[in-house]
Structure 1
Amino acid sequence: MSSILIIDDSVFQRRVVGAPLRAGGFDVYEAVNGNDGLLKIQELQPDLILLDILMPEKDGIEVLKELHDLGNTIPVVMLTSDVQESTRNECLSLGARAFLNKPVKAEELIPVITALIEKTS
């Protein structure tokens, strides 16, 4: 089954997002901030990354910039509670493939993830 890395500083959000993914048979891994996420991306090479924008230490945009500079090909879906058009455009230019608004709903999450993983398989 496909592996997904959730990078979000909120334990609650990681649980809310991770539960339906685990129930759907995905292997789910978690990172607590951008620095932890970058390490786990290298270690795990997940099939997809769910990335929060607002985090301490290294935010989602900084993570995207680093991944972009490294030539990342892993699909990245941004998780956000409110994103301005300029932020959205910046994320898309850095390689983000989709956006999901918080609170993330399983009926929106699963189809987006499945479609992106199928495209890269």
Structure 2
Amino acid sequence: MKTNCSNDTPACKSRCFKIALLIVTGIAALGLLVMLLWNWLMPELFVGARQIGYFQALGILLLSKILFGGCHAHGRWKERRQHWESMTPEEREQLKGHFKSRWGHWCRSDKAEDKTVGSPTHHGE
């Protein structure tokens, strides 16, 4: 699977690995939270409700994403694609430049220059 890193430097790969690890850890923690809340609340509130295991909690998370959040994302991407296709080449380049200035510094090899105060690539965001 190809990452969004702009180059293949070790620092870039390390940063992308850390982001992926953070996402996986967040999903794991959310699954644990769902399991603990379910096991604490549901058997007490509903007669016949049983406790669930960790992987069942992850399944509930996935099912809720499919039922309540899965269909909307496709529509948003379709709208964005239509907007992109309706833009002029100059507007597209301007938007690319905006995203590159905002997000392109994640995997750049010139990070030392970025940290200097007053550097033209330093963003105070």
Q: Same fold (TM over 0.5)?
A: no
Per residue, is there more helix in 1 or in 2? Answer: 2
- Choose between structure 1 and 2 for higher RCO, CA contacts under 8 A separated by at least 6 residues: 2
In our comparison, the structure showing a higher alpha carbon Rg is 2
* TM-score category (smaller protein): under 0.3
